[in-house]
Structure 1
Amino acid sequence: MTAPVEDLVAQALSLPPEDRARLVERLIASFEPQSAAQAAWMQVSKARRDEVRAGKVEMVPGEEALARIRARIA
């Protein structure tokens, strides 16, 4: 990596976790044009995130979620 990139990495790593997550989302999004379907999924995911943050829904650990799904299809 070049020095300017190293400087950016150092700055990014000094950010709080929530800001780093936003930065990662924006960087990943920059690699592909946003289709209508991608925009719709982004809207859904942000709405779900907001519901979790507002305490309207409770998150379930991944393993538990998979166990529930497996029990339904078994």
Structure 2
Amino acid sequence: MSVHPLLKVDISELSVAERIQLAEDLWDSILDKPEELPLTEAQKQELDRRLENYHRNPTNGSSWEDVKKRLGFSQ
């Protein structure tokens, strides 16, 4: 892999844990400005549908912790 032009680092030289942390940090930085990530009308409707489903059936589904455990990301 080559040096990333914005980060000025060779990402392939980072450990897997460091790359995961980098991805998390990058995602968190996007979430700092949600207004810059507009949703389409279809996306808004889908989110509203899912939220309504959750309100009707709050015990359905899995917690984020359970999902991470099933995927093997539990620490």
- TM-score calculated relative to the size of structure 2: 0.36
- TM-score calculated relative to the size of structure 1: 0.36
Higher RCO (Cα < 8 Å, 6 or more apart): 2
